[in-house]
Chain A
């Protein structure tokens, strides 16, 4: 075998030394002279108009540098990675539990908390849309605009309707996956300051510094070259740090106070407002011949995407094209509908919807194996992608298709370490 410089060699990662020495600087580790601490006043209702917001008592507290609501924003107040639908600070209405309503900067973290406790708000509560089904009903309250449909996607390949006639066996099942938090070990944190040239600098725990820069510039109403974003050493993200967290709030407070402002979210706050994995329901009909060859798959995929879009338009592009999994199938249809609700915002999370689709296609393969009295591994091998396979997007796989080898190795390893489990899978 050819010797490579990197492949199949032991290497110490470039940033391992500073991390084992404890010198790597994460966002919460940054300190600056004259620095203020920031905090966010958040909604405790999921869907409401704000009737009254009183910031005066908080502003009057000694040691509080500034308290701001949406009226302080000099530029735009709509953000989001693809659709700009999330406010930095609520202006028209609250759309989820934890929406940011006001921000505070103060001399100490204790004073930030005291100031937040002095903010008074009156809500006019609206019915909370808490399921996909309710979101789709005609008389449901609309989270944004005049429809709760966030995004749809339709995949059509071959001729599914005609294909059922040629199937010897058809299995139909519905699969639901649940919402999930990334629970990155480092809660979101960041710091913003204006430098001597008037450039807004943001140091943050983020996966997306270039995007953050665009958003901060839009918030402040300045060109992108007036904003600099630096990614601090980041303690895990898994997709959950692609969306904006503290960057906008810190920058807004730094703009008004002309002092560095640091925000460190508690675990509770971080979990409450960071994005989540999209929960999906997949109603799937799968047909095969009696010798186990897949003939057709038809899936209706629905999702409660939460209050804001985040990466939903990307996730809905990925999940349907993976609805058959790594298996050859000549006839595929997947219709996907993602809805806005007043639940937590869903976004990017390792796999962009593909793991959800896997719950469906692997469940269907097992159901087919059972219906045909076949070994579940064998039915997968019969249908496994190989070089030359054409996937439901019409793309031909021309190289590097390792699925069959993976299945064989997994089978051999399972025979070695868990023979009894393999025995249980044998067809009746």
Chain B
């Protein structure tokens, strides 16, 4: 190779390249800062995994139906696996921010309905109403929770649903 630099100059050149690469690594390892959420806002997360009631009730197999089944597959009741959708309505300060009928998960539609929603709100007091329907009723809701919460900037609250604990729960 043609010698463009004397040895000392070559090492100095190498040091400069290493210095530039080190600066590149050091800087982009944690900078520039990324703002992924407005710092002057608070966060409400609505998340639940809840299985609604089955689509229909159980019925007894007829004698003829039982005769057609293999002996080891015979059972008295026919219970559908599929669940109803879970209907959820979420209101913040009188404004409906989320309203949906969430279908069940699973290939047979027998898993829980899953909801995960994020709502950025301004800091301060907020009136929250959360409603959920998991039955085949056509109107109204099976569960309803009303609460007033106060949030600071960048504070986060999670709203969960546990049927065995009576409905919606606020997790701070």
Is A bound to B?
no
Which residues of A are interface residues toward B (Cβ below 8 A)?
Answer: none
